[in-house]
Structure formats: structure tokens, C-alpha cells
Amino acid sequence: MCKKILLLFKTPWHEFKKVDLGTKDHILSLPCKAHSRLFAEVLTNSQYPDFYQSPMQLICCYKTRDRRVWFYGTIDNPNDYNRVYSFYSPSLNLLLSNPRWGFKSTAQIVHPQWIKHGLPRQWKENCDCRHGAECRRVPLAAFLTRGRPKWMIDVWRSCLVPGSHDAEYVALSYVWGERKFVTTTKDNFDCFRRPGALSALPLPNTIRDALGFTEMLGLRYLWVDSLCIVQDDTNAKYAEMENMSAIYANASVTIIASDGCDAYSGFAGLQGVSGPRAYKQAIFDLNHGAKLSTQQHYQTETVWSDRAWTFQEHLFSNRRIIFQNGCVRWECSKAFWYEDVLQMDGHEFSRREVNRRAMLSSNFPDLLGLGNLLRVYNDRNLTYPEDALNAFAGIMRALCPAFKSGFLSGLPLAFFNIALLWQPRGYAVRRVASEGVSRATCLPSWSWAGWKCGIENFRMENEYIKQHALSSSGSNEVVVIPHVHWHSHRSLNAIGTPILSDWYEYRKKYLNTEAAPPAGWTKHALDKGFSRSGSQWPDYFLNPLSEPKCLYKHESDPDSEFWYPIPLPSTTDESVSIVSEPYLSCWTHRVWAFAGKYRLKDAEAPLLYLNNKNGEKIGFLKLLESRGENGSEDKYAGELIELVDIAIGYRNRYFRPGVSKFHHVMWISWEDKIAYRKGLGEVWMESWEEQDRELIHLMLG
């Protein structure tokens, strides 16, 4: 049995191999007990913490193409013969083996108290040498490449110095926490510029350790937000917030304090800089003189990983040194290196992260990608809820070269009518500004920023894309037709700024028409073998008998294909429009409906069916609602629901027969002549036309 396990480590690293080890009873009946002790430690979970007492059946051992070896155990589900419960062990590495067998170790002993001196610096220098500029490249807009911090810390002189385009610097990503600590203000700014000033300050452990660790890496400059941004200089602070993407993208490496719950947590295990850590390496003896170790475990959910601010810090960092669970590791685009695993290339960023980074480097707007970013970001925590847009500002700035006209309160202006149809994923909690901050200023109910919740993908997704290497093509289950004209307002009495439906104007003008393409675009005949059925052809739901005639290409990416040109920013215009305005207005129609059955489903937003006065179902709403005690289906039964029309929708008729045409509607409530969003959904078009419609002027807050 031990030999079977060990032979997996002779499998070439790029090959996949599986070995069936037998049933648990068979394994326990063998005279060798070394492997039994190994299984007892690694094949457990919260439901079955005792391997010997668990009803586990078959046990297998896998060697995957990313060099990992791990065990897999199964338990039949007595209530469902088509399902099995699975156990997965941590990754295993060969720590020591008999040289006569020809095995090479894949792991090494880790000191329980101290990180190996010089190891993080060795990682950085190896990446510099072996990967060159590949891991330092900033695959983003030109203005991000040129962006640098306004101020940095000179760790040699222990003071603030002006940022330099040529200076190689380290960035710190950490959790501030609730405890107060020293920050840079207008009053102490000049003092902090004097040599030696920072060494005399009572800095929190994480920042002080980061200063020492920067020197250990052989670098001179460090960027820390609390010291390098003047916290009470509003203009300077917001300018650096928008520049956050460039600051992390251009850093030589980002230090991530993933273990920390606040700025006082520090980095344990840096001899000469911080105190010792308490790390215990799991080592197991097998027969034939071999030893295995489980790879260092990194829990995915930490205070740091749950913070909204750290999302963009991680996203834009090209190279990362991560302190987590008392261990340290290296991440770059070509390799993941760990303390306990012998160094080798081959690990790469996850597919999800590759897609995110690809979207940020694209010249074309990716609504599906933006929705995926928001789905993760918007469910994270903020100490100050009014920072919901500020903590996303760096991402919006990076996306501005692809999204023409920029963003309004977090929604892309070029596709505003689509983005306004965002839906929560699960429960939603209304963000309320801190005391003394105007609620209307930063947290409008019509924007995702006004709610803490996951986000479903935008309804249209990327219907304009036929084929694109970096962006995801849309499923096109729904086509949106805007027919409400919106205006944004900085205040209730301010003159409104019209919001143009640029994408829809392009769609009407160029989709399957004879119109000459706009500058930079070329029109091409479609291959005769293309089938218009299914969801690839965006005009299929509106005009079932229409045949696609042409596609379009853009000069900046001749390999990609589009169903129609889309509005793109000028390549020479680097201006960034990120506007936060709390009010929207329009003229639209209102109807009244009655609440029907209320439904809760795991991981989905609460659903409320809509009835007409005769009790017949006419549509539904997804509600912006926090978790409550009352989940009965009669929660809102009979309640009068005020709905306003915000767009028309067409759905694939084969997806849900009979409801292929509908109105997107918003459930609103009023407060001092201002309406607030409570939910959003659909009313079937025939049912809508049967209602008593009233034209009103709507002001959303």
C-alpha cells in the first residue's frame, strides 16, 4: 500500500494518474499501519471527524497535472443512490525517500518559528531572473502604466518622499480594523517628511513589520495608504483612491497581510523584524523510510479576504507575497512558491483570475465580466458603508478605456439602461451612511452601491460579441429595449444631465442593416453555413424570420467579431468620468398590482409573484430584502404594489413559452416625494397593457 502511494511521485509532473487503493476495510486489514495513520489524519471532515468510524467505502489516490498528490474517499448516500459524499485530503508532498528507489523529494522541512532567512527575497529575484518582464507587465490602459503614488515611504531614511516614476516600490495590502492608529494628516504631513520621523512613531505592527520586510527584500520604497495619503485632504484622498489600480499594478510586489484582523496583527516569523510564529508541519512516516507532508493549508475566508477595499488591491497586484495561517507564499503569473514545497514553475493564476485580468486589459466593454467582478465585490464588508463606490473607484478607472462615457454611481453610462436592471444574488442589506454623512450623496437605492449583496449578471450580458478571445460572449436569453429617458441629478433642484443609450442607438443603426460602419470598424459578409437558431444571433427573439447578413470587426482587434459596432472611447482621450450622483428622473408609466405568493430559495433573492385584481399571475419581482424571520408564502399576500416601467424585454420564446415579451418594472416606495427601489422584476406585456397605466414624473433617490 505504501509503495502504491509512493510510486505516484515518480509520475512525470505533466501527467495525470489515478490509483485505486481499495476499500477502507481492506486497507485497515493490511499489516502495515503507517498508511492507516496517514488516512486517519487527512481523510476527515466536520461531518465525519473520525476516519475509523466513518462509513467510507472506496479510497483512491490521484496525481494531477499540477503536481499535486491527494487522496479521495467516497461515502454512498443512502437517501439518493445517484449521489455520493466525497472526502478530499490536503495536497501531499514527498519529504524524504529511500535514494535507491529513485524518488526525488518535492517538499522540505519548515522551521516552526521562523521563515527561512532570505527566502522571500530569493523568490523575488528568481521571478526577476526567470520570468523577466512577463510578471511585471501592466496589461492595462496606458494611464495605469504611467500611474505612480504621489507619496511613498523611504524605509532607509524613515520618512515620506515624493513618488518617482523610476522608483521600484512595494505596496502593502492589509486590514485597518477598528482600533485607531497614526495616519498622515495636514497637521503632521511636513513633520513626516523629515528623515527619521516615522521611526519615532508608535506605528501598528503590520506597518512597522512591512517597513522591515521591505528592506529584507532589498528594496527602498514602500507604499502604505494610511501614511502615503493625507487622510483629511479630501481632494488628494479621492485622487489617490481613483489611482489605486495604478498604484498596485505598478508595484514591484504587494505584501498581503491576509492573517490580520487589524493593523496591529503584524507578520509573525520574520527574524529580526517581528516575533516568532507557531507553525506545526504535518509529517507522516510510511514504510521504506519515506516521509510525506501535507502542503501548507490556507483558509480561503479571512477578515482580509472579506474586506471590500482589498478586492481591487489583490486584483491589480501582479506579484504577491502573502502571509496567511502563519505561513508565507509567493504568487505571480508564472509560479506559486511555498515554504514547504521545493521551488518549481508551472502553477498559474486560476481561470477566474485570468478572465478578470483579461477583461481589464481589453479595449472592449465586457458586461458579463463587470457583473462577475461586482458579484464578488459587493458582498464584502466595509467599515464605512459610504466607501462602497470609493473602494471600487480603481476598478472603474481601469475600465474607462473600454466603457465609453465612464460610470455613474457605479453603473456604466454607455449601457446604463442595461446596468440599471441589476439584480441581487441572495439577501440584500441596505447600506446606510455613517453618522454625519448624507445618505443621498453616496448610496442611491437604484445602484448596487446602495446595497450589500451579491450581484447577478447583467441581463443582456455581451450580446454584441460574436467571437472574442478575451471577453465572454453572451447567452442572449434576454434582449433589452430601452424606452425610458433618464436624467441624473447632483441634487434635487439641480438641472438633470441626460443619459444617452449609446449601445442601443448603435444596435438599431448597424445590426443587420446596410448602413456604413463607423470609423475604425469594417463590415464583413457572414459565412453561409452559419445557423441563426439558438442564442448566438441577438435579433432572433425580435425577428424570428430574419437572417443574419453580416458581422463587424474593429481595427484594434481584427481577430474578434461583433454582431454590431459598439460605442468605444477615443484612443487619444484619456479623460476619466467617474461620477457619483444620487438622483435619477424620468417620465414613465405607473401601474398597481397585488402581491401574490412569496418564495425563498437558497442563494437566490426573495421572489414575490404579482397578481392582477382578479388574482391572476401577471409577473414577479426579485426583492431587495435582508434575512427575516417571516418566510411564509403569504408574507405580502394582497398588499398593493406600486410598479413603474423602466424597459421592455424580449426573452427566448423556447426558454419560457408565453412570456417572451414583458416590461421590466421596479417596485418603489415614496419618502418626501422621492421614490426608492424595493425590488425589480417583470410583468408580461399583455398583462401590462390590460392595467390602468398612469404617466408620472419619477425621481429616484
pLDDT band at 174 (very low <50, low <70, confident <90, very high): very high
Sign of the dihedral through C-alpha 36, 38, 41, 45: negative
Cell of 61: 489516490
Mean local confidence (pLDDT), 604-615: 94
pLDDT of residue 13: 64
Sheet strands (E) in 104-144: none
Ramachandran angles phi, psi of 348, nearest 5°: -135, 170
More confident position, 602 or 692: 692
pLDDT at 238 over 90: no
More confident position, 466 or 101: 466
Report which DSSP code applies to 446.
Answer: T
Cell of 285: 512516516
pLDDT band at 517 (very low <50, low <70, confident <90, very high): very high
pLDDT at 136 over 90: no
Order of strands, edge to edge, in the sheet holding 411-412?
A: 411-412, 407-408, 578-579
pLDDT at 473 over 70: no
Strand, coil or helix: 15: coil
pLDDT at 125 over 60: yes
Residue among 490, 326, 306, 283 at smallest CA distance from 380: 306
pLDDT-wise least confident of 279-288, 296-305, 343-352, 428-437: 343-352
Q: How far apart are the first and last CA of the chain?
A: 67
Sign of the dihedral through C-alpha 449, 206, 125, 106: negative
Gap between the Cα atoms of 39 and 43, Å rounded: 5
Residue with cell 439558438: 534
pLDDT of residue 614: 94
Residue with cell 398593493: 640
The three-point CA angle 494-500-501 to 5° equals 145
pLDDT at 81 over 70: no
Kindly state the helix (H) or strand (E) to which residue 399 belongs, with its residue range: helix 393-399
Residue among 410, 422, 209 at smallest CA distance from 323: 209
pLDDT band at 402 (very low <50, low <70, confident <90, very high): confident
pLDDT-wise least confident of 313-322, 323-332, 647-656, 672-681: 647-656
Residue 381, amino acid: N
Gap between the Cα atoms of 593 and 612, Å rounded: 6
Gap between the Cα atoms of 572 and 574, Å rounded: 6
Ramachandran angles phi, psi of 284, nearest 5°: -130, 135
pLDDT at 448 over 90: yes
Gap between the Cα atoms of 42 and 92, Å rounded: 10
User: What pTM was computed for the model?
Assistant: 0.87
pLDDT of residue 313: 94
pLDDT of residue 286: 83
pLDDT at 407 over 60: yes
Q: In sequence order, what are the beta bridge partners of 622?
A: 607, 680
Residue among 339, 341, 306 at smallest CA distance from 325: 339
pLDDT of residue 345: 57
Are 59 and 43 spatial neighbours (Cβ–Cβ below 8 Å)? yes
pLDDT-wise least confident of 31-45, 229-243, 421-435, 592-606: 31-45
The Cβ of residue 660 has, within 10 Å, a number of other Cβ atoms equal to 18
Are 389 and 580 spatial neighbours (Cβ–Cβ below 8 Å)? yes
Cell of 168: 521600484
pLDDT of residue 24: 84
pLDDT at 65 over 80: no
Whole-number average pLDDT of the chain: 86
Burial state string for 612-647 with b = 16 or more CB within 10 A and e = fewer than 16: beeeeebbbbbbbbeeeeeeeeebbeeeebbbbbbb
Gap between the Cα atoms of 658 and 650, Å rounded: 11
Residue among 444, 479, 245, 459 at smallest CA distance from 367: 459
pLDDT of residue 168: 95
pLDDT of residue 133: 81
Q: In sequence order, what are the beta bridge partners of 465?
A: 562
Q: In sequence order, what are the beta bridge partners of 608?
A: 598, 621
Mean local confidence (pLDDT), 422-446: 85
Gap between the Cα atoms of 210 and 228, Å rounded: 14
pLDDT-wise least confident of 261-275, 351-365, 447-461, 687-701: 351-365
DSSP code string of 250-298 = S-SEEEEETT-SSTT---TT-TTTS--------EEE-STT-EEEEPPP-
pLDDT at 195 over 50: yes
Helices (H), 572-694: 685-690
The Cβ of residue 180 has, within 10 Å, a number of other Cβ atoms equal to 9
Residue among 464, 660, 683, 685 at smallest CA distance from 544: 660
Q: Are strands 640-651 and 661-671 parallel, antiparallel or unpaired?
A: antiparallel
Gap between the Cα atoms of 110 and 181, Å rounded: 34
pLDDT at 460 over 90: no
Q: Determine the length of the chain.
A: 701
pLDDT at 439 over 60: no
pLDDT at 191 over 90: yes
Are 597 and 609 spatial neighbours (Cβ–Cβ below 8 Å)? yes
Mean local confidence (pLDDT), 398-410: 90
pLDDT-wise least confident of 251-260, 538-547, 555-564: 538-547
Residue 342, amino acid: L
pLDDT of residue 87: 74
pLDDT at 241 over 90: no
pLDDT of residue 351: 57
pLDDT of residue 657: 47
Report which DSSP code applies to 135.
Answer: G
Are 508 and 500 spatial neighbours (Cβ–Cβ below 8 Å)? no
pLDDT band at 535 (very low <50, low <70, confident <90, very high): very low
pLDDT band at 349 (very low <50, low <70, confident <90, very high): low
